[in-house]
Amino acid sequence: MAKQKIKRSRFGLFLNTAPEEDEPVWSLVGEGVTELTVAYNPQTSEVVYINQDSGTTDVESYKPTIETPMTAIKGDEVFEFVDGLRRGRKVLDECVTQCVMVYLYEEEQAGAWPAEQNNCAIQIDEFGGAGGESTKLTFTINLQGDAVQGTFNPDTKTFTPAA
């Protein structure tokens, strides 16, 4: 297969904007967001044994976070959900939902793409902005625990765990 660049639009992030409901409501994080990057935040340990001159670094675990600066757009499902968390100053279980990272650059199978689902806690960082500019809402999606691998269909907004 020939090498090809991957457009940023081919990596999607969906947030469950109705975690209190029986069925998730998957809303695409996109409107008002011009940059979004997953920081994996590796947790490492370092050691130099007495018989060595050079040390060893092991990756022990990851604490992924997704800082999300967003222009406030009234009516956008993600903004409305996160703004509700901000206004209610929700903490602990009240700010926990789920997210799905969808790899739309991989091979599609029956309308679904490889994806991973995670529980996450939404952390409100900043709200406001400079005079004469649009209001900004910056929040961080803190992934919790291990991801569930599977597929996601963006048309039906359905996540299916891998067998």
Residue 114 falls within a domain, yes or no? yes
The verdict on residue 22 lying in a domain is: yes
Average pLDDT, the chain: 96
Give the separation between CA 122 and CA 95, rounded to whole angstroms.
5
Q: Model pTM? A: 0.92
Q: What is the pLDDT of residues 123-160, one digit of tens each?
A: 999 999 999 999 999 999 999 999 999 999 999 999 99
Q: Within a domain: residue 70? A: yes
DSSP tag of 140: E
Domains: count for the chain? 1
- Cα distance between residue 59 and residue 29, in whole Å: 30
Residue 80 lies in a domain: yes
Q: How far apart are CA 150 and CA 141, in angstroms?
A: 20
Distance between CA atoms of residues 95 and 59, nearest Å? 29
Q: How many CB atoms lie within 10 A of CB 1?
A: 3
- pLDDT, average across residues 60-89: 97
The predicted pLDDT at position 163 comes to 86
Distance, in Å, from the CA atom of 127 to the CA atom of 72, rounded to the nearest integer, reads 9
For the segment 81-92, the average pLDDT, to the nearest whole number, is 97
Domain membership of residue 86 as a residue range: 13-43+61-156
Q: Read off the pLDDT of residues 16-53 as tens digits, 9 standing for 90 and up.
A: 999 999 999 999 999 999 999 999 999 999 999 999 99
Any domain includes 54 = no
